[in-house]
Amino acid sequence: MSLDQNDIAKLARLARINVAETDTAELSQRIGDILNMVDAMQAVDTANVVPMANPHDATQRLRADEVNEINQREHFQKIAPQTADGLYLVPQVIE
Amino acid sequence: MPNHTIADILRGLEAKTFSSEEITQQYLNAINKHDINYNSFITVTAEQALAQARAADTARQNGSAAPLCGVPIAHKDIFCTEGVRTSCASKMLDNFIAPYNATVVERLATAGVVTLGKTNLDEFAMGSSNETSYYGPVRNPWNTDCVPGGSSGGSAAAIAAGLAPAATGTDTGGSIRQPAALCGLTGLKPTYGRVSRYGMIAFASSLDQGGPMAKTAEDNALLLQAMAGFDHRDSTSMDLAVPDFRAGLNKDLSGLKIGVPKEYFSEGLDPEIASAIEASLNEYRKMGAEIKSISLPHTHLAVPCYYIIAPAEASANLSRFDGVRYGYRCENPKDLDDLYCRSRAEGFGEEVKRRILIGTYALSSGFYDAYYRKAQQIRRLIKQDFDEAFKSVDIIAGPTTPNPAFALGEKVSDPLTMYLEDIYTIAVNLAGLPAISLPAGFTKGKPIGLQLIGRDFDETTLLAAAHQYQQRSDWHQQAAPGSV
């Protein structure tokens, strides 16, 4: 399994991580090595095996739909890069 | 105070041999003087530590001492600590002052511990050598040309160097047990769901589990007692009673059935490690245990399975770091997309980016079934291997790592050989089981770790087996050459 320059560009796009063109070759080599290593799994017949997402096969615990937290917006926004009037500021999205 | 265990410190505090303030100051002095050799701390919280120590001394005088009152420890810098930088060893969180405490931090504080500071780790806990930290690599006190293991390498090095008697760690694929093995310590990965993950920065949520690292099994029991228990704020936390781990240390182990997987003694295992493990199994025989050969036939698939599941979950978990709400933001973003893509490219290190990209690939349309679903199916086969083994044995024993501590830089350029260092620890996380690593000898001056794996939620037997071995051996009492 190997990935070409377009594959890496697509992954970088999906992951929202800029990848410099000069890094593409090494990255595709290293990711390719890992994909080759994990290919050992393909030799095993798992047709009737139920996938395991949680080691105890536990499902999400639900709680009563009650308010149990207080609003701490100011406290949490103190560490934000940029805020105004209780909002997080980002570059303009709509003209 | 050098080489003190938590149990020693508690005895000293109770007997008024020293105060918490005195011993805390001694550790802070030691960190100040010697950590330049190891780089085991990212942040030292001296003022807070001394204030906590004075409060602990007052509580002890008033007769209201909590179980660990006045004992100084360190936290892996992956646990959120309110008002203190929580960096996860990443440029992404270099400026992140946690606005709340992790449950583990809160529980240990309630138990009375004093926090010396935050220890170094592989960036976002992704690594087995502590070389991917934004704050530079950590050095192994047994041989400073070698890695301490990872990802909880700072916690391990700090304890081995005598800069803290104990510390917290986290274990996603071996990150408590492997550094414990490489630094001559005892470290426990509890059962998945035993210790709350609230406020523990997520790497791979179906695998991550926090736990203790210390010199002895007894200290692990003391720390786990304070850390464990149900937490409604962690949806994977299990609502089960927590046994008295210290009381269980002397539980009768005669007739204990220990399974030894033949797959853990195959190609790639250092022969001196193999002999040390054999010798420790002989000790268990003398203690009345029965040693049985077992098979875990899917062992060779654990690393492949892990390197899909862990990156896939990491790619989802780390999507929260977007430069908007906290953490690193790139300079002068030209639009929102540029803000996301450049903040993440500049804020994450190479190994973290590589794993996010692999995870993104494994979860992407057209590849999900071949990779992620397949890995989840293999995961069940691995869990079933253990289920089958535990029908005939009580615990499973083997080496923690195939090799002792390797040289700094040796495996950086070849991540695949580094991944294989976790071959004996990874399957345990996939199966959610508890496991402990304890010192079992030396090879060429470097510590060897014995791993004991238990049934779900049976940390008691592991701690007892480790403790009783430590009553008959002194590997855990050896001090690293430069330790204070």
> How far B305 CA sits from the closest chain A CA (Å)?
7
Domain region containing A15:
1-43
pLDDT digits (tens, 9 = 90+) for A37-95: 999 999 999 999 999 999 999 988 888 999 988 999 999 999 999 999 999 999 998 87
Strands B209-214 and B166-171, how do they pair? antiparallel
* Burial letters B296-310, b for 16+ CB under 10 A, else e: bebbebbbbbbbbbb
Closest by CA position to B475, among listed B185, B218, B144: B185
Q: In the predicted model, is pLDDT for residue B276 greater than 80?
A: yes
Question: Tell me, what's the pLDDT at A94?
Answer: 82
Residue B261 C-alpha from the chain's centroid: 23
CA angle at B69 for the pair B65 and B72, rounded to the nearest 5°: 170
Question: Tell me, what's the pLDDT at B116?
Answer: 98
Question: Residue A21 belongs to a domain with what CATH number?
Answer: 1.10.20
pLDDT digits (tens, 9 = 90+) for B206-242: 999 999 999 999 999 999 999 999 999 999 999 999 9
Contact list in B for residue A71 (CB cut-off 8 A) is none
Count of domains in chain A?
1
Distances (CA, A) of B332 to A17, B96, B338, B384: 16, 20, 9, 52
pTM tops 0.90:
yes
The ipTM estimated for the assembled molecules is: 0.96
- Stretch B195-214: mean pLDDT, rounded? 98
Q: Which CATH class is domain B6-258+392-477?
A: alpha beta
The interface residues of chain B toward chain A in range 77-136, judged by CB-CB distance below 8 A, are 95-97, 99
Contact list in B for residue A94 (CB cut-off 8 A) is none
pLDDT digits (tens, 9 = 90+) for B56-86: 999 999 999 999 999 999 999 999 999 999 9
Give the C-alpha separation, B360 to B314, whole Å. Answer: 9
B76, containing H or E segment: strand B72-76
The interface residues of chain A toward chain B in range 51-90, judged by CB-CB distance below 8 A, are 51-56, 58, 60-61, 63, 72, 75-76, 78-82, 88, 90
Contact list in B for residue A54 (CB cut-off 8 A) is 192, 206, 236, 432
Which SS3 state, helix, strand or coil, does residue B213 take? strand
User: pLDDT band at A2, cuts 50/70/90?
Assistant: confident
> What is the longest distance spanned by two Cα atoms in chain B?
70
pLDDT digits (tens, 9 = 90+) for B360-406: 999 999 999 999 999 999 999 999 999 999 999 999 999 999 999 99
Q: In the predicted model, is pLDDT for residue A13 greater than 60?
A: yes
User: pLDDT band at B266, cuts 50/70/90?
Assistant: confident
Task: Tell me, yes or no, whether A91 lies in a domain.
Answer: no
Contact list in B for residue A27 (CB cut-off 8 A) is 354, 357
B361/A11 Cβ within 8 A: yes
B375/A41 Cβ within 8 A: yes
pLDDT digits (tens, 9 = 90+) for B409-438: 999 888 888 898 999 999 999 999 999 999
Proportion of chain A in helix, strand, coil states, percent, rounded to 5: 40, 5, 55
Say what the alpha-carbon torsion angle A36, A41, A44, A48 is, to the nearest 10 degrees. -140
The domain segmentation of chain B, as residue ranges, is 6-258+392-477
Instruction: Determine whether B36 is exposed, middle or buried from the number of CB atoms within 10 Å of its CB (0-12, 13-18, 19+).
Output: exposed
| B162 backbone dihedrals φ, ψ, rounded to 5° | 80, 20
Best probe of the A interface among B85, B307, B355, B357, by most A CBs < 10 A, is B357
Contact list in B for residue A82 (CB cut-off 8 A) is 329
Closest by CA position to B204, among listed B325, B379, B31, B73: B379
Give the C-alpha separation, B247 to B241, whole Å. Answer: 15
Question: Tell me, what's the pLDDT at A93?
Answer: 85
Give the C-alpha separation, B456 to B390, whole Å. Answer: 10
Best probe of the B interface among A13, A26, A34, A48, by most B CBs < 10 A, is A34
The beta strands (E) that lie in B295-347 are given as none
pLDDT digits (tens, 9 = 90+) for B121-162: 999 999 999 999 999 999 999 999 999 999 999 999 999 999
Question: Tell me, what's the pLDDT at B2?
Answer: 54
Closest by CA position to B431, among listed A32, A26, A92, A56: A56
Question: Tell me, what's the pLDDT at B461?
Answer: 98
Contacts 24+ apart (CB under 8 A), A71-79: A72/B99, A75/B99, A76/B99, A76/B325, A78/B99, A79/B95, A79/B96, A79/B97, A79/B99, A79/B326
| Ranges of H-type helices in B111-176 | 153-160
Instruction: Determine whether B162 is exposed, middle or buried from the number of CB atoms within 10 Å of its CB (0-12, 13-18, 19+).
Output: buried
Say what the alpha-carbon torsion angle B329, B333, B338, B344 is, to the nearest 10 degrees. -20
Question: Tell me, what's the pLDDT at A60?
Answer: 85
Task: Tell me, yes or no, whether A63 lies in a domain.
Answer: no
Which SS3 state, helix, strand or coil, does residue B337 take? helix
- Stretch B180-200: mean pLDDT, rounded? 98
- By Cβ distance, the residue of B305, B336, B356 closest to A15 is B356
Q: Which residues are CB-neighbours of B292 under 8 A, at least 6 positions away? A: B257, B258, B259, B260, B392, B393
Q: Which two three-digit tokens encode residue B99?
A: 């606005």
Give the C-alpha separation, B253 to B103, whole Å. Answer: 33
Q: What percent of chain B has pLDDT over 70?
A: 99
- By Cβ distance, the residue of B99, B357, B432 closest to A76 is B99
The interface residues of chain B toward chain A in range 402-461, judged by CB-CB distance below 8 A, are 415-416, 419, 430-433, 456
- By Cβ distance, the residue of A31, A40, A63 closest to B354 is A31
Query: DSSP code of B372?
Result: I
